[in-house]
Amino acid sequence: MQVYKKITHILYDMDGLLLNTESFYTEVTQSIVSRYGKKFDWSLKSQMIGMRSIDAAHILVDTLNLPTTAEEYLEECETKLKDMFPRTQPLPGALEITNHLNNASIPQAVATSSDRNMFILKTSHLKDWFDMFACVVTGDSPDVKRGKPAPDIFLSAANKLGANPEECLVFEDAPSGMEAALNANMNVVVVPDPAMDKTVYKEAHQILNSLSEFQPELWGMPPL
């Protein structure tokens, strides 16, 4: 069994990694594009996940040649999502691993492309859990000049934790997030959606089917 580099700090993406929100995005986006006779499938979604909302919206509108602007799509999308997000729930293994590492005094942070308002909407009913994290960096934070795959958000989180990037482990589900972690010179474990083509994650240090599979002792941390 492979043993990896010893880790001191953990950084998490949020959507599709800690929280089960991706099905909401798919449902709402398909309802919008279907009005124009278009289909939102995984070949397109795989290009969008993990990115800042406006960047993902531009990809959608341009790829499907929608007769609307990215800003108009985003406004309608977010209006519909606001009714759904208060129902978000943790994905398998998320509570267990974050609680375990918290009890082991491993500093943890969330680095999400969501803006602050959307982060609050998605997590307000899970406040006790998210209060556990040492810091949360959102996509609209002033020091995050570029979205993923640029490394800005992970470097910002590491800086707030006082961490050496080389000793950080990033958990991601999106190809753009994996690239951002690697561009930050960090280690990265990916937990892709089952519908994703796993070959796009070949540069990741480790690929898991679920956070429940994670073995912290392989990274120099106390075992579950």
Alpha-carbon gap, residue 178 to 122, rounded angstroms: 22
Q: Is the same domain home to 209 and 103?
A: yes
- Tell which of 55, 70, 86 closes a domain: 86
pLDDT for residue 1: 72
pLDDT tens digit string along 115-167?
A: 999 999 999 999 999 999 999 999 999 999 999 999 999 999 999 999 999 99
Q: Is the same domain home to 60 and 107?
A: no
- The catalytic residues are 13, 15
With a pLDDT cut of 70, the percent of the chain lying above it is 100
- Domain span at 37: 22-86
- Tell which of 38, 53, 86 closes a domain: 86
For the chain, the average pLDDT equals: 95
pLDDT tens digit string along 41-65?
A: 988 998 998 888 999 999 999 999 9
Q: Is the same domain home to 103 and 176?
A: yes
Question: 67 in a domain, yes or no?
Answer: yes
Question: 40 in a domain, yes or no?
Answer: yes
Instruction: Give mean pLDDT, residues 9-27.
Output: 95
Q: Are strands 9-12 and 135-138 parallel, antiparallel or unpaired?
A: unpaired
Q: Is the same domain home to 61 and 101?
A: no
pLDDT band with cut points at 50, 70 and 90 for residue 70: very high
- Tell which of 69, 86, 103 closes a domain: 86
pLDDT at 3 over 90: no
Alpha-carbon gap, residue 224 to 217, rounded angstroms: 8
Q: Is the same domain home to 207 and 114?
A: yes
Phi, psi of 72 (to 5 degrees): -65, -40
Q: Is the same domain home to 182 and 208?
A: yes
CA-nearest of 46, 96, 92, 97 to 210 is: 92
